[in-house]
C-alpha cells in the first residue's frame, strides 16, 4: 500500500473506556504502528446531553495508562494538536454545517418536520404491522406547498439523509467479507437534530474523510451504521475508507460482556493491579490470534505480527482466569525495581512507603513469584513494616501448642547475640537448636514464623528472618512469647 495508513479511535465521551473500547483502541494502534502509519484520537462529543468532561479525562487517562500513544488528537480535555485540528467534534460544527448545506442544496437531504409524537406513532404502527420500525419517509415526499405550510407555521425540523430507495449497499468488511444491506430496509437517517446539531453518523463520515483515514476499525455494533455512512460518502462524492468490524466480546456465560461479569472499565483493571502490558497482550488476543496461537508477546512482537486477517468473525470470550495467569507471568518477568515502582500506588495506599524497616525491593523480591496482581503486594508484605497482626487460628494452633512459648524464648536468647544474621547461618543455627532439643523441625520453624509474621504461610523462613534483621526478629519472638499464657 503506497498511501500512509491512518487509523483512529473515536470515542463518544459518555462514560468510561470499557474493555471493548480498549480493544478497539489497541487494534487501531497496532495496525497503525505495524504499517508505520498514524494513529489518531478523536472525541465524538455530539451527544451534548450525555457527553461529559470527566468522561473525556477518564478516556484519555485510560488510553495513556494502556500505553497507547496517539499521533494526533487531544492534548488534554480541551486542547488538541495535529494537522487536522480540531479533534473534538463540537469544535467542528461549522465544517459539518457546510457539508450539510451542500447535501440539502443538491436534494440529497431534506427537512423533516415530524414531531416526536408522530415518530412514536409511526413506530407503534410499524410494530403492530410487524414491519421494521423505520422512518416511513413522510417528509421526503412533501410537495412544495406542504413544505411552505410547515415553514410558515414555524415548525421545527431535523434534516434527514435520503437513502437510495432500492438496490443494496455492500460493506466490503476486512474481517467479515462482503456484507450486503438492502437499501429499502435502511431508514433516512437524521443527520442534523431538531435541536440544531449534527449527529454521529454524519460527523463520523466527514471527519474520517477530511482526516484522511484509510481504515475504520471499530466494534461490530457499528456495522449496521456502515451502509448509511457509505451512502453519505457517495453523496458527498468521496471514496469510503476500508472498514473492519471487530467481533463482540462475551462474558463467560455467553452473554454480552457487561458489569455483571465484573469490572468493565479499564481504570478498574488498573486499580485492581493489572499491568498495562498484560492488558495490551490480553486484549490483543481477545478476537485476534496468530496461526501458531502464540500467547505471550512483547510489544514489538505484537506490532510485527498483528493483522486484520487474524481477527475472528465469531465473538470472543473474556476469560479472567487467563488474564490473571498472564498478569502473574508478566509480574514475574518484571525486574523487582520496576515492580516496586509499578506497585507504588498500592503500597502508598496501604501506608507502606517511607517506613523504617528493610528496603521494599528486598521484601518484594522475596515474594515475587507469588503475586498475580499488584494490589496483592501490600497484604503479603505489610508485616515487615507494621506491628504483627496474629491470625487467631495460627495463634491457637501454633503458638499455644505445648512447648512453643519456651521455643520462642530460647530462640530469642540464642539469636540475640547471633552473627552473621544471614539466611544460611540462621538456618544452620536453628537446625542445630532443633537437634539439641530433640524436637521436630515443625515444632520450632512454625512458632518462629507465626511469631514474626502472625501467619502460617509466607516467604521462605530463613531469608525472611535475615531481611527482618536481628532486632525485629528478637523483639517479635519475645513479644509473641509474652502473649502466650
Ligand atoms: N463514537 C462512536 C462510539 O463511541 C465510535 C464510532 C466509530 O468508531 O465510528 O461508539
Q: Are 216 and 241 in contact, with CB atoms under 8 Å apart?
A: yes
pLDDT in tens, 17-53: 999 999 999 999 999 999 999 999 999 999 999 999 9
With cell 521436630, the residue in question is 440
Ligand 1: nearest atom to the Cα of 208: 9
pTM as predicted: 0.93
Q: Which CATH architecture has domain 392-483?
A: Orthogonal Bundle (1.10)
Cis peptide before 420 (omega within 30 of 0): yes
| 433 alpha carbon – ligand 1 mean position (Å) | 70
Q: What percent of the chain has pLDDT over 70?
A: 100
Q: Is the pLDDT score of 133 beyond 90? A: no
Q: Which three cell numbers stand for residue 106?
A: 443538491
- Of 21, 202, 217, 218, the residue with max ligand 1 atoms within 8 A of its CB, to mutate for a pocket test, comes to 218
Query: What kind of fold does domain 334-384 have according to CATH?
Result: Helicase, Ruva Protein; domain 3 (1.10.8)
On the question of pLDDT at 1 being above 70, the answer is no
11 within ligand 1 shell (Cβ under 6 A): yes
pLDDT at 482: 98
**Distance between Cα 269 and ligand 1 center (Å):** 22
**What integer pLDDT is reported at residue 132 of this predicted model?**
85
Give tens-digit pLDDT for 86-104: 999 999 999 999 999 999 9
Point out the catalytic residue in the list 64, 78, 259, 349.
Answer: 259
Which helix (DSSP H) or strand (DSSP E) does residue 170 occupy?
strand 168-173
Is residue 263 over pLDDT 90? no
Ligand 1 binding pocket mutation candidate from 7, 8, 12 (most atoms within 8 A of CB): 12
Domains 6-90+249-317 and 92-246 share a fold: yes
Question: What pLDDT sits at residue 174?
Answer: 98
Give the DSSP H or E segment for 218.
Answer: strand 215-219
For a substitution probing ligand 1, which of 7, 8, 11, 248 has the most ligand atoms within 8 Å of its CB?
11
CA distance 262 to 251: 9
Average pLDDT over residues 290-318: 97
Rounded Cα distance between 474 and 418, Å, is: 10
Q: How far apart are CA 165 and CA 369, in angstroms?
A: 64
State mean pLDDT over 455-466.
Answer: 97
Judging by DSSP bridges, how do beta strands 190-193 and 158-161 pair with one another? antiparallel
Give a three-class secondary structure readout of 342-376.
HHHHHHHHCCCCCCCCCCHHHHHHHHCCCCCCHHH
pLDDT, tens only, 204-229: 999 999 999 999 999 999 999 999 99
12 lines ligand 1 (CB under 6 A): yes
> Residue 187: enclosing H or E segment and its boundaries?
none
**C-beta of 18 in contact with ligand 1 (< 6 A):** no
In the reported structure, the alpha carbon of residue 248 is separated from the centroid of ligand 1 by a whole-number distance in angstroms of 14
Q: Which atom of ligand 1 is nearest to the CA of 44?
A: 1
**CB under 8 Å to 170, separation ≥6 — which residues?**
178, 179, 180, 181
Ligand 1 pocket, 218 CB below 6 A?
A: yes
Q: At residue 325, does pLDDT exceed 90? A: yes
- In tens, the pLDDT along 415-446 reads 999 999 999 999 999 999 999 999 999 999 99
Top-tier CATH class for 92-246: alpha beta
* DSSP 8-state symbol, 288: B
Is domain 6-90+249-317 in CATH 3.40.50.620, yes or no? yes
The per-residue pLDDT for 209 is 98
Would you kindly state where each structural domain of the chain is located, as residue ranges? Answer: 6-90+249-317, 92-246, 334-384, 392-483
Beta carbon of 458 within 6 Å of any ligand 1 atom = no
CA-to-CA distance for 347 and 309, rounded, in angstroms?
A: 42
C-alpha Rg value of the chain to the nearest Å: 32
CB under 8 A, 24+ apart: contacts of 270-273: 270/62, 270/65, 271/375, 272/373, 272/375, 273/327, 273/343, 273/346, 273/373, 273/374, 273/375, 273/376, 273/377
Going by pLDDT thresholds of 50, 70 and 90, the confidence category of residue 125 is: very high
Kindly give the interhelix angle for 441-453 and 423-437, rounded to the nearest 10 degrees.
130
Amino acid at each position: 500500500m503506497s498511501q500512509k495508513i491512518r487509523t483512529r479511535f473515536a470515542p463518544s465521551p459518555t462514560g468510561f473506556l470499557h474493555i471493548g473500547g480498549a480493544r478497539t483502541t489497541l487494534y487501531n494502534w497496532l495496525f497503525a504502528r505495524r504499517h508505520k502509519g498514524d494513529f489518531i484520537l478523536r472525541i465524538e462529543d455530539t451527544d451534548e446531553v450525555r457527553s461529559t468532561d470527566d468522561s473525556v479525562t477518564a478516556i484519555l487517562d485510560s488510553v495513556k495508562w494502556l500505553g497507547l500513544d496517539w499521533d494526533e488528537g487531544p492534548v488534554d480535555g480541551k486542547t488538541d494538536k495535529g494537522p487536522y485540528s480540531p479533534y473534538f467534534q463540537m469544535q467542528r460544527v461549522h465544517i459539518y454545517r457546510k457539508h450539510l448545506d451542500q447535501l440539502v442544496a443538491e436534494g440529497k437531504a431534506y427537512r423533516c418536520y415530524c414531531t416526536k409524537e408522530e415518530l412514536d406513532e409511526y413506530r407503534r404502527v410499524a410494530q403492530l404491522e410487524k414491519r421494521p420500525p423505520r422512518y416511513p419517509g413522510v417528509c421526503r415526499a412533501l410537495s412544495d406547498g406542504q413544505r411552505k405550510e410547515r415553514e410558515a407555521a414555524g415548525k421545527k425540523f431535523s434534516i434527514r439523509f435520503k437513502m437510495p430507495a432500492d438496490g443494496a449497499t455492500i460493506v466490503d468488511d476486512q474481517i467479515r467479507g462482503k456484507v450486503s444491506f438492502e437499501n429499502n430496509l435502511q431508514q433516512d437517517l437524521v443527520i442534523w437534530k431538531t435541536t440544531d446539531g449534527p449527529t454521529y453518523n454524519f460527523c463520523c463520515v466527514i471527519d474520517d474523510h477530511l482526516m484522511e483515514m484509510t481504515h475504520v476499525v471499530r466494534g461490530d455494533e457499528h456495522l449496521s451504521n456502515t451502509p448509511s455512512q457509505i451512502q453519505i460518502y457517495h453523496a458527498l462524492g468521496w471514496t469510503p475508507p476500508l472498514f473492519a468490524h471487530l467481533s463482540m466480546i462475551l462474558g463467560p456465560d455467553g452473554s454480552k460482556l457487561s458489569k455483571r461479569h465484573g469490572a468493565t472499565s479499564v481504570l478498574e483493571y488498573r486499580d485492581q493491579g493489572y499491568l498495562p502490558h498484560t492488558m495490551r497482550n490480553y486484549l490483543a488476543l481477545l478476537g485476534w490470534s496468530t496461526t501458531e496461537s502464540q500467547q505471550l508477546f512483547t510489544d514489538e512482537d505484537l506490532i510485527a505480527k498483528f493483522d486484520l486477517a487474524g481477527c475472528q468473525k465469531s465473538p470472543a470470550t473474556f476469560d479472567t482466569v487467563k488474564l490473571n495467569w498472564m498478569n502473574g507471568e508478566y509480574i514475574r518477568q518484571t525486574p523487582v525495581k520496576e515492580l516496586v515502582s509499578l506497585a507504588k500506588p498500592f503500597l502508598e495506599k496501604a501506608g507502606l512507603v517511607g517506613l523504617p524497616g528493610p528496603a521494599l525491593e528486598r521484601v518484594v523480591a522475596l515474594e515475587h513469584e507469588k503475586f498475580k496482581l499488584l494490589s496483592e503486594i501490600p497484604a503479603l508484605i505489610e508485616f515487615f513494616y507494621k506491628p504483627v497482626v496474629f491470625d487467631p487460628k495460627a495463634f491457637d494452633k501454633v503458638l499455644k501448642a505445648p512447648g512453643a512459648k519456651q521455643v520462642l524464648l530460647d530462640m530469642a536468647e540464642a539469636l540475640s547475640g547471633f552473627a552473621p544474621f544471614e539466611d544460611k547461618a540462621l538456618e544452620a543455627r536453628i537446625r542445630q537448636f532443633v537437634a539439641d532439643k530433640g524436637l521436630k523441625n515443625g515444632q520450632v520453624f512454625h512458632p518462629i514464623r507465626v511469631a514474626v509474621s502472625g501467619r502460617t504461610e509466607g516467604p521462605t523462613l530463613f531469608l525472611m528472618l535475615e531481611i527482618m534483621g536481628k532486632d525485629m526478629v528478637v523483639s517479635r519472638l519475645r513479644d509473641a512469647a509474652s502473649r502466650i499464657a
